Amino acid sequence: MPIFKDIASLRQWRQSLRGTLAFVPTMGNLHDGHLALVRLAAARAEQVLVSIYVNPLQFGPQEDFAQYPRSLDKDLQQLHAAGCSTVFTPDDALMYPRGRKDLSIIIPPHSLAKVLCGASRPGHFAGVCTVVNKLLQMVQPEILILGEKDYQQLRIVQQMVADMNMTVQVLPGPVQREADGLAYSSRNARLSPGERQMAPRLAATLFDLVQRSTPQASVAELALAGRESLEQAGFVVDYLELRDSETLQAVNIAQPGARWFAAAHLGQTRLIDNVMIPL
Ligand code: AMP
């Protein structure tokens, strides 16, 4: 399994490739959520490239860039076993050779990027779009695989691809969960044993809200009940909202296709999740 650290050898490999290339960008510390995306990629394309890069541009000054878990050796072993063909592990000097100030950046539409996580993480989605755009220019895949776990990120990247007339096909992968419902996340490793026990309550609350979502139900009352149940369990809730799956705008009728989104802190760890009201 070749591991590229520079653009020249990556491009040389790319030019010699036959068949379709699917690309799975990650920040490493891989888990079954990432590996499911790798398997989806392998089912859709002859070649699979996974990138591992913790992108400083998408972390705010008070966020956990320095503490973000890194485990490259273990990641590489898991990728090999999951059928990944190639890994790209750029570093900051390769991604941002002139530094991160005064950089050309991609600013996503405010309607998608200033809501939900964007409201409390200014600049986060511009950082995501900029790095994904750079990685796409380097890797030149036919297919880009992104997880629905980060649903807002998925929608914003889909919109960037459409707005910039990029030819890459964006393929979403469903949220992968532990047996108790907690969505896999690299940040779960930072939960204390007590927090880890409580963490599945986030997904359980969203699934419960989906169950109670009918066109007659009061969305405001549902959201309040969900928020109270999380707060009683010890979460500090950032948001718990029902939004349209395409526009990400708030909706006040709980109809099929709308999506419950939540972000909440358990101790130092911020967890996010989302569940759609089934069609
Ligand atoms: P990250 O390493 O957190 O940047 O995630 C890399 C990719 O994996 C993104 O497209 C995420 O949406 C996706 N991903 C992370 N966790 C999960 C999960 N539990 N289920 C599905 N996809 C996931």
In DSSP notation, 5-33 reads -SHHHHHHHHHH--S-EEEEEE-SS--HH
Q: Are strands 86-88 and 3-4 parallel, antiparallel or unpaired?
A: parallel
**Token pair of 87 as six digits:** 């890994």
- By the 8 A CB rule, do 103 and 97 touch? no
Query: Which residue type occupies 238?
Result: D
In angstroms, rounded to a whole number, what is the distance separating the alpha carbons of residues 36 and 34? 5
pLDDT on residue 83: 83
> Pocket of ligand 1, candidates 24, 30, 35, 37: which has the most ligand atoms within 8 Å of its Cβ, to mutate?
37
As for ligand 1, residues whose beta carbon falls within 6 Å of it are: 26-27, 33-34, 37, 146-147, 149-150, 173, 175-176, 183-186
Q: How far is the CA of 52 from the centre of ligand 1 (A)?
A: 12
Residue of 35, 150, 190, 202 to test ligand 1 pocket, by largest number of atoms within 8 Å of CB = 150
Ligand 1: residue of 53, 149, 176, 202 to mutate (most ligand atoms within 8 A of CB) is 149
Beta bridge pairs of residue 171: 145
Task: Specify the ligand 1 atom closest to the Cα of 184.
Answer: 19
- Whether 34 sits among the annotated catalytic residues: the reply is yes
What pLDDT does residue 119 have? Answer: 97
What pLDDT was estimated at residue 121? Answer: 95
> What pLDDT shows up at residue 17?
95
Atom of ligand 1 nearest to the CA of 150: 12
pLDDT at 217: 97
Contact 132, 157 (CB under 8 A): yes
Q: Say what the pLDDT of residue 69 is.
A: 87
Task: For ligand 1, atom 11, name the residue with the nearest CA.
Answer: 147
H-assigned helices in the chain: 7-16, 32-44, 72-82, 92-95, 110-113, 117-120, 124-139, 151-163, 193-198, 200-212, 219-232
Long-range contacts of the stretch 231-238 (C-beta < 8 A, 24+): 233/198, 233/201, 234/198, 234/266, 235/198, 235/201, 235/202, 235/264, 235/265, 235/266, 236/264, 236/265, 237/262, 237/263, 237/264, 238/117, 238/120, 238/263, 238/264, 238/265, 238/270
Residue 30 alpha carbon to ligand 1 centre in Å? 9
pLDDT mean by block of 10 residues, the chain; 279 residues? 96 96 97 97 96 97 91 94 93 97 97 98 97 98 98 98 98 98 95 98 98 98 98 98 98 97 97 98
Strand order in 236-244's β-sheet?
A: 236-244, 258-266, 269-276
pTM over 0.85: yes
Is 149:155 a contact under the CB 8 Å cutoff? no
Give residue 43's identity as a one-letter amino acid code: A
Angle at 27 between CA 26 and CA 32, to 5 degrees: 60
